[in-house]
Chain A
Amino acid sequence: MPLRLLLLLPTTTYRAEAFVEAARRLGVDLTVASEEDSAFSASRPDGLVTVDFRSSVEITRAAKALVKSHPIDAVFGVDDETVVAAAIAAEALGLPHISVAAARAAGDKHLQRQRLAEASVPVPAFARHRIADDPRAVAEGLTYPVVLKPLHLSASRGVMRADTPAEFIQCHRRLRTILDSADVRERGGEAREAYLVERFVPGPEFAIEGLIVDGRLHVLALWDKPDPLDGPFFAETIYLTPSRHPRDVQDALIACAARAAAALSIDRGPVHVELRYNDRGPWLIELAARPIGGKCGQALRFGSDGAVSLEEVVLAHALGLLREVPARVSEATGVMMVPVPHAGRLERIDGLDEARRITGVTDVVVTAHRGQRVAPLPEQARYPAFIFARAEEPGGVEASLREAHACLRTVYAD
C-alpha cells in the first residue's frame, strides 16, 4: 500500500503544481488540504479536504477524521502559516514533525529574534512596538538607520528602512496602512497590531536552502543576492548559486544558520534562511521552516541527471523515503523575481519570447494574470514573473538573467 501524504496548500500559493507533481513522482497517495473548497471536495473526500489553517481545533479534527479512513504517513505545510498547521496535525496524529512551538517561533519575527538572541545567535538589535503607539515617541529613541518590519508578512512586504526620525514617521504611516489592508485584516490578531523595529545591518545578503536531518543542517544551496539590499524597500531580485564569496564566508554563514535552527528547536525538515555578512561576521536576518518561496525552487535540481526537484527532496524526507541528501547539479543556476515597476492593472508582459531566447535562460514563467492589480513593495510582495537561467559559472547566469529581464516590458491597462 502506498504511503499517504497530507499536503497543506493555501489556495494562493505559487507552488501547488511543484508539490503535487513531486508527490506524484514519489508515487505516494496524496490528500491536499486547503483553506477554501475545491470543486471536487465532495466527490474526492480522501484527496481534497478543506480546513481553516488558523484553527488548531479544526486542523486536529480534520486530521483525525481523515486518518480513520486513510492512514497518513506524513504532513507537510508549504508556507509559514501551513507549517504551523502541519505541526498541529502531525502532533495530533503522532507523526514526526517539528514541534508546534518551533513552527510558531519560526513564523513570528519577534519571537524568533528573542529565541535567537537568547541563544547568542547574531541578530540585529530589535524591539517590538504597537502600531497604535505614537511613532514620534518611538522615533526619538532610535539609533539610525533602522528597519521597520511587520511580524508575520513575508517576501519583504511592509519592510522599510528609515534613516531619520522624519523618515521613520513616514514609514510608520505607510506600514499602518499596509497592516490595515483587507488581506492582513483577515489574519487578525497581533499580525496587524504590532511591528518590529531593528537596526539596519549593512553588507551583502545571502540565503541558505537547507534540509535538517536528525538535527543536522544539510545545505542544498547557498544563494548570493548580487543586487544591494540597502533600502528604502527590500525587493528581492536575483538569487545565484553557487556562491561567489570566499569559502570562509560561506562556512560562517552556514554555521550561523545551523545555530539558528538549533536555537529555534527546528530539528528536521526544510529551512530557508536569510543572512547578511559584514566585517563583524554573519547576521541572521530570518529563518523560515519551509523551502524557498515563489517559483524560486524551480531553479534547483538534484541528482546526477538533475531529474529530482527541491520539492521531491523535502517531501521524500518528510515521508522517510530519503536515504541520503542528494547533491545539487554542479552547474551554476539562478532565478530572478521580476519586480513590479509601478502600481496598476496588469494587461500583459511583452518580450517573453525574446527573453526565452537569451543564451542560458531555461524558462520565463508568468504568474500574474491579465487584469490583476499589482503594486511594488512595500505595499505588495507579488512577483508577476520569474526568470530562470543556468550556466557554467554564476557570472554567466547573472548576465543571462539581466539580459532577459531587459527584454521584458510590463504593460498596464490603466
Chain B
Amino acid sequence: MADKGLSPRPGVIDDDHVFDVVEEIFQTQINPAVAQHGGRVDLIDVEDGVVVVRMMGGCQGCGMANVTLRQGIEASLKRMVPGVQGIRDITDHAAGSNPYYAQTGK
C-alpha cells in the first residue's frame, strides 16, 4: 500500500489527497488538543505538500503559537502523513484578542 498522501506517480504529491487526510487528523486529533487551550486551527489548503493553516481563539496571538505549530502540529502531521512537507501559518496574530499565553515578558 502506498504512503498516505502520495499520488501513484512517484515523487509527485497529491495535494487533494493530503488535504483529505490532514482534515481528518485535524478533526480527530489536532483540534481536540488545541481546544484544551481555547484554540482552533483551520486547515486552509495544501500547496505542494505544505499545509496552510489559520489559528483561531486561544492560538491567535498566543506567545507559544509557533511552538504549537512546529513542535505539535507539524511534527505530528509529518509523522502521520508522509506527503506533508511542512506547514505555513497565515494567521494575523496581531488581531488575536484572547491568546492563551500572552506575550508579556522578555
Residue contact A16 to B66, C-beta cutoff 8 Å: yes
- Residue B94 interfacial (CB < 8 Å): yes
Within 8 A of A (CB), among B42-94: 61, 63-68, 70-73, 75-76, 94
Contact of B97 among A80, A367, A369 (CB under 8 A): A369
In the complex, A154 has a CB within 8 A of chain B: yes
Interface centre among A17, A34, A79 (most CB of B within 10 A): A17
Q: Kindly state the interface size class of chain A when it binds its partner.
A: 35 or more
Give the contacting residue for A34; candidates B29, B64, B106; CB below 8 A.
B64
Complex interface: chain A residues within 8 A of B103 (CB): 12-14, 367-368
CB contacts under 8 Å to B, within A17-35, are: 17, 20-21, 24, 30, 32, 34
A170 interface hit (Cβ, 8 Å): no
A11 and B101 contact, CB distance less than 8 A: yes
- A172, B64: Cα distance in complex, Å: 35
List of 10 A-B pairs having minimum Cβ-Cβ separation, nearest first:
A40-B72, A293-B106, A17-B66, A366-B94, A11-B101, A370-B97, A12-B105, A47-B71, A39-B33, A369-B61
A96 contacts chain B at the CB level, 8 A cutoff: no
Chain A contacts for B39, CB-based, 8 A: 39
21 A–B contacts from the bound complex (CB under 8 Å): A12-B102, A12-B103, A13-B103, A14-B63, A16-B67, A17-B66, A20-B71, A30-B70, A30-B71, A38-B67, A39-B36, A39-B68, A40-B71, A40-B73, A44-B75, A48-B67, A79-B105, A80-B106, A155-B106, A367-B103, A369-B94
A43 in contact with B106 (CB, 8 Å): no
Contact in complex: A16, B63 (CB < 8 Å): yes
Number of residue pairs A-B, CB distance < 8 angstroms: 101
Closest to A47 in B: B71
Among residues of B, the one whose C-beta sits closest to the C-beta of A14 is B103
Residues of A within 8 A of B68 (CB): 38-40
Tell whether B104 is near chain A: CB-to-CB under 8 Å: yes
CB-CB under 8 A from A40, the residues of chain B are: 33, 68, 71-73, 76
Candidates A12, A36, A365, A371; contact of B104 at CB < 8 Å: A12
CB of B99 within 8 A of chain A? yes
How many Å lie between the Cα of A198 and that of B44 in the bound state?
56
Give A30 to B81 CA distance when docked, in angstroms.
20
User: Which residue in B72, B75, B106 is a CB contact (below 8 Å) of A39?
Assistant: B72
A369 touching B106 by the CB < 8 A rule? no
Q: Which residues of B contact A20 (CB under 8 A)?
A: 66-67, 70-71
In contact, A294 and B106 (Cβ under 8 angstroms): yes
